[in-house]
Amino acid sequence: MQSTTYTIAEQALFQPLGGEAVLLDLRTERYFSLDDIGTRIWSLLTEHGTVDAVVAQMLQEYDVVEVVLRKDVEVLVGRLVEAGLLVAGTAAPAEPA
- Do the domain assignments include residue 95? no
- Do the domain assignments include residue 26? yes
- Do the domain assignments include residue 65? yes
HSE, CB side, 13 Å, CA atoms: give it for residue 77: 25
Q: What is the pTM of this model?
A: 0.83
Q: In CATH, what number is assigned to the domain containing residue 39? A: 3.90.930.60
Tally of domains within the chain: 1
What range does the domain containing 39 cover? 3-86
C-alpha radius of gyration, the chain, whole number: 14
- Do the domain assignments include residue 31? yes
Of 82, 87, 88, 85, which is closest to residue 27 (Cα–Cα)?
85
What's the angle, vertex CA 55, arms to CA 39 and CA 94, rounded to 5? Answer: 110
- Do the domain assignments include residue 92? no
- Do the domain assignments include residue 80? yes
The string of pLDDT tens digits covering residues 2-55 is 578 999 999 999 998 888 999 999 998 898 999 999 999 999 999 999 999 999
- Do the domain assignments include residue 94? no
